[in-house]
Amino acid sequence: MRRKNMLFIMLLLATLSFAFSGKVIKVADGDTITVLKDGKKVRVRFYGVDAPEKKQEYGLKSLSVLKNMIDGKIVEVKEKDKDQYGRVVGEVYYNNKNLNLYMLETGNAWWYKQYAKDNVEFAAAQEKAKFEKLGLWKEDNPMAPWEFRRKNK
């Protein structure tokens, strides 16, 4: 019986995402921040979200929206993965608000389908922002950040 309980606990822990909190010390753009956690800098990339690049149309606005909301504030990060650059990939919360979702709902970022294809909440948030012509969706033909990066390599 003990062995089954231990196995259950190990499986449960494996499915839980790691969470930490820290102070935002830098907002690089609309989907990347640096958090001070236990005296160490941790770069965090928002899961399932891709904001316009700073040199791209609407990029500075996206940065500004996020910066005004959380710069210098304590956030919680629910880590999902690490990316190829060693950044934590996660969902970021401020005052219990999911900022990944917020950036999509307000039209300040794109749903990054490639990395969050099963996230129906993100898909719905983007569709609603598009329909309401919020943020970057006010533009006639906004260019996805991944296309902008590919074009400007």
| 149 has catalytic annotation | no
Exactly one of 87, 105, 147, 149 is catalytic; name it.
87
Name the catalytic one among 45, 79, 139, 149: 45
25 within 8 A of 40, measured Cβ to Cβ: no
In this structure, the dihedral spanned by the alpha carbons of residues 63, 64, 69 and 71, taken in order and rounded to 10 degrees, is: 70
Q: Of 43, 53, 105, 132, which residue is the catalytic one?
A: 53
Q: What is the rounded CA–CA span in Å between residue 66 and residue 80?
A: 20
What is the rounded CA–CA span in Å between residue 117 and residue 140?
25
C-alpha count within 13 angstroms, C-beta hemisphere, residue 117: 1
Active site residues: 45, 53, 87
